Amino acid sequence: MAELGSEWLQTTGGESLHSALAMLREHLGELQLSQVAHGRRAIILFEGPQGAGKKAALKQLAAAFDPCHFAVHPTGHERRQASEGHWLARFWRELPGAGDTAIFFRSWYRRVLDDRILGRIEDKAVARAFDEINEFEAQQRDYGTLIVKLYFDVSAEVQEERLRKRAASVWGRYAAKDDVVRVGEPAYAKALADLRTYSNTRWSPWHMIDGDDEAAAVIAALTAVADAWAEAMPAEPPRLVDDVA
């Protein structure tokens, strides 16, 4: 687990995965207290294809944070026409307030991933979408919002096995409402390469998560969030009027 890159996680030593996760959740909960006290805003994106392990990591993060101060926004395919308004408008309405976190399970990146791969938008719209996304994220950071972008990648073999297991369950079939993007297709490789080239910005870089090992992916994702929180959130409580007196 020390190979996952967090100095904090190295302190767990030989603890079991269950114990390491429990300690990491507790650590995240403490970091959130500083965010709430100082009124800082944050956005977390869970991106990646179906079967990459995003939901497992999201469940663990939700177990760590105070539910009064975060909201999860699942993002489905946008079926509106351009004439109905700007395609980013639905995300503007879900931006977090002071002290809160907005978690997007899939996000505005569907436009340059799924929509592009499945032929829902023209190629000329992709470059414009990247420019609009980068400007949108820069605006959030300029106003003090922390952005953590997690991309869960997965091998074609592991994805197919997970999708087969999901399809074997009646509940899994019911929950699978989106068209599947297969990672083994050339269009996926091209879209992912462009994603890393055109949206891995200084103000909102991507954290790439290897989703083949689901347990390791959960640890890596939560560690990335904890490291970002520890760096961005003040370590000391805000000064109160009574403290001055």
pLDDT, mean of residues 144-169: 95
> Predicted confidence band at 12 (pLDDT cuts at 50, 70, 90)?
very low
Amino acid identity at 59: K
Residue whose C-alpha is closest to residue 36's, from 71, 69, 72: 69
How would you label 50-69 residue by residue, b for 16+ Cβ within 10 Å and e otherwise? bbbbbebbbebbeebbeeeb
Q: What is the pLDDT of residue 16?
A: 79
**Average pLDDT taken over every residue of the chain:** 89
pLDDT band for 240, please (50, 70, 90 cuts).
low
Average pLDDT over residues 145-163: 97
pLDDT tens track for 55-66: 999 999 999 999
**H or E stretch at 227:** helix 214-232
What pTM, to 2 d.p., does this model score? 0.89
Each residue's pLDDT tens digit, 179-203? 899 999 999 999 999 999 999 999 9
Name all domains of the chain by residue range, CATH numbers in brackets. 41-214 (3.40.50.300)
pLDDT score for 87: 93
Which residue's structure tokens are 């989703």?
211
